[in-house]
Chains A and B, each alone.
Chain A
């Protein structure tokens, strides 16, 4: 009897082809979309892309790394502010400044982790929230970036609207693809396997020779980088930044919502979650407080009734897996 390790399945191969076609259609959007609506479509996509990238990173951190944070908006805002400062003060092209902002967010995550990793579980969650507040209050007191009322991204002044929107759109598309590819390839690598082991049992993983601390730090830094990327991208699209918007806990709240609704600990989860969130946002956000109230209730109900989220529920019933990160043993003789 021979044993083979399968790392993909027909569904996942189809999904890969489908994703490629979808990507091609999306990438050429500026050329085929009706002139009147192209601009608003692209704006909408950029926004969703930011939410999605951010949710993806939160999923990596909480769903795979087991670190439930309510403070990821620290990196979102930091990425945005660094991008803006590089653009406004250092004369860097804002589109180049976006990855630089993300890099800065990843770097700052290293010292931040010294403090944050002192806490575990629920304490870690609220501790990271405090850290995000420190970020917010710090930027709110820097008058060079407008203090509490924020400032505008003036570096894009010379670029005309159509070019700017198209460039932002392509950048957002690249971010989404990069976020999926990064998480997918990382989880399929040897280090990804180590990460899953840590999530399932930290002590057991350490006894098998896995560097738990190092892995956790790596995931924290990667998630901060991704969060910073989402933030920098969002504020290139938005052109205006303020501490309350950049470091709002709502960013993490929405990410948690998307991940929990879609399904934590799988790549498809945040995708499904982001689609649901986008649809809810589009049709119900006019209801204001009632809409947010409903979102909160929905998160509570899904957590209590569908512990694995909607995609997890589907996966259990149908065994679908579009982005398989597990190794499946198939015995054949």
Chain B
């Protein structure tokens, strides 16, 4: 998402948390399975993303990165405090009827949790779907065109505002999915957003800009580093993750599998 629009959304993490709370709130309102709720949320997220980009973010795009940064940073503060006001600071999660504690045993007394496995499957599926969308469909071509050169793309008859809005809409579907999964996997609280943003950003930079598989590899690498760090000393886990990110930046600033430049 970072690489395509050349817009840095500093509220990305907070939108994930917003998605999680939306799922939690609707679960409290109607008695449906968490999976059904998540599926129902996705079209909503699509519409929300489209509207946000069209009404708010499009007017901040330009050569100067400041307006979009300030607006998304402002959104981040608004979302955090709104959630704090509505749901209090207590951590919450989604009850998945025991699914989050089930596991399958593998030979060698290794057991793998069902939920983490499902999340990994979702991540791989989402990556593949995005890659397909970008490389094989007309919409994907439009995304790539406005990303490469907005003016030329507009000359060719594309409406850049519409294309940007669609890209954000697609991004928000994934954000909502991530939010729902996050709330099933662990607890969420209103102030969790910025950390998620930093992790997402690190994964993108480690993986290389504009490459979805690269981002997936970057995310896995980051997660594994953090887990190793936590094993060594609980205080240093996230620190190790940050250091790996900075090291990649120093040694290979274009990331491991870069697709687009700058």
Q: A residues engaging B (CB < 8 A)? A: 62, 68, 70, 114-115, 118-123, 125-127, 129-131, 133-134, 137-138, 140-141, 148, 249, 253, 256, 260, 264, 289-290, 292-293, 295-297, 299-300, 303-304, 307
Contact = CB atoms under 8 A, between A and B. Distances in A.
B78 A296 contact: yes
Interface stretch (B24-32, B137-145, B149-157, B238-246): B238-246
Given A115-B246, A123-B205, A126-B10, A137 B238 contact: yes
27 contacts: A68-B65, A68-B66, A119-B205, A121-B8, A122-B10, A122-B65, A123-B2, A123-B201, A126-B8, A130-B198, A130-B202, A130-B245, A141-B233, A141-B239, A264-B66, A290-B85, A292-B77, A292-B81, A296-B74, A296-B75, A297-B74, A299-B74, A299-B77, A300-B56, A303-B60, A303-B70, A304-B71
Contact of A114 (B73, B202, B250): B250
A289 B68 contact: no
B194 interface: yes
B194 A299 contact: no
Contact of B70 (A123, A256, A293, A297): A256
Nearest to B89: A289
Contacts of B107: none
A270 B161 CA distance: 33
A134 B243 contact: yes
Contacts of A119: 205, 249, 253
Nearest to A137: B239
Contacts of B85: 289-290, 293
Interface in B73-87: 73-78, 80-82, 84-85
Contacts of A122: 2, 6-8, 10, 65, 68-69
B66 A127 contact: no
A258 to B, nearest CB: 12
Given A141-B239, A296-B78, 14 more contacts: A70-B73, A122-B2, A123-B201, A127-B205, A130-B246, A260-B70, A289-B81, A289-B84, A292-B77, A292-B80, A293-B78, A297-B74, A303-B67, A304-B59
Contact of B74 (A133, A140, A300): A300
Q: Give the interface SS of chain B, mostly helix, strand, loop or mixed.
A: helix
B151 to A, nearest CB: 18
B242 A130 contact: yes
Residue of B75, B242, B245 with most chain A CB atoms under a 10 A cut-off: B242
A70 B250 contact: no
A134 B60 CA distance: 30
Contacts of B235: 137, 140-141, 148
A300 B71 contact: yes
A185 B71 CA distance: 31
Residue of B56, B68, B73, B75 with most chain A CB atoms under a 10 A cut-off: B73
B197 interface: yes
B236 interface: yes
B262 interface: yes
A133 B242 contact: yes
B198 A126 contact: yes
A253 B245 contact: no
Residue of A115, A121, A290 with most chain B CB atoms under a 10 A cut-off: A121
A279 to B, nearest CB: 19
A237 B22 CA distance: 42
A137 B236 contact: yes
Contacts of B74: 296-297, 299-300, 303
Nearest to B82: A293
A299 B243 contact: no
Contact of B65 (A121, A129, A140, A141): A121
B150 to A, nearest CB: 15
A68 B69 contact: yes
B10 A70 contact: yes
B206 to A, nearest CB: 11
Contacts of A131: 246
A115 B249 contact: yes
A114 B247 CA distance: 11
Contacts of B75: 296, 300
Interface string B147-178: 00000000000000000000000000000000
